[in-house]
Chains A and B, each alone.
Chain A
Amino acid sequence: MIALFLRDLRLAFRAGGGFGLALAFFLLVAVLVPLGVGPKAATLALIAPGILWVGAMLSCLLTLDRLFATDFEDGSLDLLATAPIPMEGVVLAKAAAHWVTTGLPLALLAPVLGILLQLPGPAFGWLTLSLLIGTPALSMIGAFGAALTVGIKRGGLLLSLLVLPLYVPTLIFGAEVVQRAGQGAPLQSPLLLLAGITAGALALLPFAAAMAIRVNLR
């Protein structure tokens, strides 16, 4: 499992691996919004938490379609299915590698983009924290979607349609944490719900994704 995790990290950083793609996309979204909405600080501060969370979510989606598809096309997935790692372990290792190459850097970059969007001062720390807690769920739910669409040629669009509705709870509670932090309101309940969604996704979805892959390999 560790070998697979390290291989996926290495592939992401090599040419054509897609690392940086999500970050650049996130950066562009955050830069384009003030251009469209106008430079008024009050308006931007109001929508900043939502924009940053939606941006992070869409960036996460960008590299998802290749999570299992490249391994399916070059036969690695067949070989991994006969390897001594359980398929659930394969899913977890690949989702973890996806998170380390997208979710984690997104969470670290987000405060910088918060400045661009006039995010209120107290919200910066909570923005990073909420993304750190919420993005693992995005990677795991995404891995489930990618597993469902693995046999389909150019399944990227279908994958987005499947996965985006499932992202809604994470988006709502993640943005709510940042919103409340900006207003100085108590934020314990959305934070706990956000963590709960991540914990639930990590506990259940590897099994569902592994089952979907096994069916798709037949």
Chain B
Amino acid sequence: MELRVNNLSCARGGVPVLAGVSFAVAAGQALILRGPNGAGKTTLLRTLAGLQPALAGEVSVGADDVALATHADGVKAALTVAENLGFWAAVHGQRDIAPAISAMNLTALQSRPAGQLSAGQRRRLGLARLLVTGRKVWLLDEPTVSLDAASVGLFVQVITTHLANGGLAVIATHIDLGLTAAQTLDLAPFKARLGALP
């Protein structure tokens, strides 16, 4: 499994945001996306996930291989933590949610309605969902927002395990996660010039 992106251009709301992005991430590696607000990190991740078509260029993995974690966690307030996770596991044809629950330290919160969770706990639930998708390519959009230091450490461990098992990750983040097998890509130079509208 390798994620290879070749000369990709993507748009948000019809306006080109990024042009000529190329990179390759091998199995076991992570790519950290950097760039100021509005640089196109989210747009790039959504394009990689197949939610919006690319203006030009190729992506080597299909939408069936990627698991996306966006700003919104896809958590239903009326369902408990275990029910939320169980639903996403069932959607992805998985059964066992216990490893995901323990990996993100949610054991004590299992039967709590998700609406009563704090922002950080909610985020942990959203990230635990990645583990029940069983997918190899993780696309993470600022995964550490509202997490405390201990939870960030926990999450870095989860990513490290995922990478060690042959997975790969593309992570948009502003903080230093301390991942060893990571390359960094700054998106600022790929900004699409508005004059170059197709």
Contacts and interface: CB of A to CB of B under 8 A. Distances in A.
Interface residues of A, number: 24
Q: Is the interface of A mostly helix, strand, loop or mixed?
A: helix
Given A4-B91, A78-B70, A84-B91, A16 B79 contact: no
Nearest to B50: A82
A73 B67 CA distance: 19
B78 A80 contact: no
B189 to A, nearest CB: 25
Contacts of B64: 84
A10 interface: yes
Nearest to B71: A75
Contacts of A46: none
B76 A83 contact: no
Contacts of B66: 82
Q: Which of A3, A14, A79 has the largest number of chain B CB atoms within 10 A?
A: A79
Contacts, number: 69
A15 interface: yes
A17 interface: yes
A74 B68 contact: no
Interface string B46-77: 10011111000000000110111011111110
Contacts of A154: none
A10 B79 CA distance: 8
A15 B114 CA distance: 13
Interface of A: 2-4, 7, 10-11, 14-17, 73-76, 78-85, 217-218
13 contacts: A3-B91, A7-B79, A7-B83, A10-B79, A14-B79, A75-B74, A79-B74, A80-B91, A82-B67, A84-B91, A217-B52, A218-B51, A218-B52
- A-B pairs with lowest CB-CB distance, top 10: A75-B72, A3-B90, A14-B78, A76-B74, A218-B52, A75-B74, A79-B74, A7-B87, A83-B91, A82-B49
